Amino acid sequence: MAELASLVQRLEVAVSRLESVSGSGGSAGESAAVSVYVEAFDEIIQGPVAQYVSLSQKIGGDVQKHADMIKQGFSSQRQLLLTASTSQKPSDAVFTSLLQPMSKIIQQVQSFREQNRTSALFNHLSAVSESVPGLGWVAMAPKPGPYVKDMQDAAMFYTNRVLKEYKEKDKTHVDWVKAYLSIWTDLQSYIKQHHTTGLSWSKSGPVASASAAPAGGCPPPPPMPPPPSMDISKSSGGGGGAADNRNALFASINKGGDITKGLRHVTDDKKTHKNPNLRGQAPVPAGPKPYSASTLPPVLELDGKKWKVENHEGAENLVISETELKQVVYAFKCNKSTLQVKGKLNSITLDNCKKMGLVFDHVVGIVEIINCKDVKIQVMGKVPTISINKTDGCHVYLSSDSLSCEIISAKSSEMNVLVPGKDGEFTELPVPEQFKTVWDGSKLVTTVTEIA
């Protein structure tokens, strides 16, 4: 069966190559170049992606469901690459429509994570959800490779949690981490070789049209052969550094035709083909620019079990009062705003917020602060855990009922916890940022470095 599946895969690649040759109308040399970068992408699908999917099937449950979405996302990206290899670059509006199927899959992956916050495999889901915007490299010019690296780094916080939890319990999860991170490592190498400054389009053939995008979403992915054996001695690498604008990019893509409303008319005197004096000037960089969240409308709504609070600027009276225990709050890209959450609910997340204030009553799960700057958190009731990750400037005001709260921090600075006294006054205590590690002859011992 494995040999049959591999044969089917090779036949599909060959058919796609023949179709690109017949449809491009280009030279034989160009057709050969086209087949090279589509075939190189197929190697990623057949290699690390297939490996990740296979291990996800072994783990099962929510992880397997997420992997099915990722497989579909790479299939959608292959369709876009095939279009680019046989067509000339279209207008930004048409390109936006070509990106929509992939955008929908990315949002589907992230929504699945938010809808399953109580999952026992939540760290697996979070690693995938944080990094899946890396598929948007096709819209990033002139540095698509570094963008994918940023998305891979965003997954590291959660993959490290998976490794810590399963290192001594189940090797399958350790292999799963290595396989998943290797997808983005291989994709960076692929981009560096074939799309260094942005998605490469054909120099001849028809201009790509919106009809090239699959109707109703992307087609089902081609069957994958069984994954090759994994060399777990290879490390995937990774480091710090969060990526901004990841969700804003694809939210803007979904505007469809409305995205062109902000374009202004270019007069003849500014067109190079009608004004020879402009031809000697430096060329304008090609390719769409990363989308900005500032163009997106503010959101405060309940979507299923999730309260979405997004893109607010200077809103000091945001209130969520009708909450239930199963609900979560997700605040994204809110600046100079204050949010009050009343009642008892499952969890609260602040993501990419600046100068944000959060006041809440009771949380039974976790409060997460991710990629934020200068935020203030006040607990009125109880919360078991507060997680601060990749954040600069965070003040946490605890209540007398929440003094047993665990505060977990990583890659963050300027963190302070304020503890109430009997007189109602708060005592401010800094969270350590500097540590000393020594070898005691049998193990590493880490202690906080006290600075006078």
Helices (H), 205-267: 246-253
The predicted-structure confidence for 257-283, as pLDDT tens digits, reads as follows: 555 555 555 666 665 556 666 655 544
321-330 average pLDDT score: 91
**Torsional class of 198: left (φ above 0), alpha (ψ -120 to 50), beta (otherwise):** left
pLDDT at 74: 95
Band (pLDDT 50/70/90 cuts) for residue 23 is very low
Band (pLDDT 50/70/90 cuts) for residue 24 is very low
Locate 336 and state its tokens.
């100079």
Q: Which residue has the higher pLDDT, 193 or 272?
A: 193
144-161 average pLDDT score: 90
Q: Which residue has the higher pLDDT, 32 or 194?
A: 194
Dist. CA 441–CA 177, nearest whole Å: 31
The mean-pLDDT minimum among 110-114, 181-185, 393-397 falls in 110-114
The predicted-structure confidence for 345-355, as pLDDT tens digits, reads as follows: 999 999 999 99
Query: Mind listing the domains of the chain with CATH numbers?
Result: 36-195 (1.25.40.330), 299-448 (2.160.20.70)
Chain centroid, CA 72 distance in Å: 16
Dist. CA 242–CA 235, nearest whole Å: 21
Alpha-carbon distances, residue 296 vs 103, 218, 254, 255, 375 (angstroms):
16, 26, 11, 10, 22
pLDDT at 306: 92
The predicted-structure confidence for 337-390, as pLDDT tens digits, reads as follows: 999 999 999 999 999 999 999 999 999 999 999 999 999 999 999 999 999 999
Pairing type for strands 406-410 and 392-397 reads: unpaired
**Residue % of the chain over a pLDDT of 70:** 73
Q: What is the dihedral of CA 117, 119, 123, 127, to 10 degrees?
A: -70
SS3 for 61?
Answer: helix
The predicted-structure confidence for 35-51, as pLDDT tens digits, reads as follows: 688 899 999 999 999 99
Band (pLDDT 50/70/90 cuts) for residue 67 is very high
Q: Which of 27-31, 146-150, 253-257, 270-274 has the highest mean pLDDT?
A: 146-150
Q: Quick check: 409 pLDDT over 80?
A: yes
Per the prediction, the chain carries an average pLDDT of: 80
Q: Which of 136, 379, 156 is nearest to 253 (CA)?
A: 136
Amino acid at 125: L
pLDDT at 317: 87
Q: Are the beta carbons of 222 and 75 closer than 8 angstroms?
A: yes
pLDDT at 93: 87
* Burial bucket for residue 258 (CB in 10 Å: 0-12, 13-18, 19+): exposed
Q: Are the beta carbons of 366 and 340 closer than 8 angstroms?
A: no
The predicted-structure confidence for 228-259, as pLDDT tens digits, reads as follows: 444 433 434 444 444 445 555 555 555 555 55
pLDDT at 27: 38
pLDDT at 269: 65
Q: Which residue has the higher pLDDT, 303 or 34?
A: 303
The mean-pLDDT minimum among 61-70, 142-151, 347-356 falls in 142-151
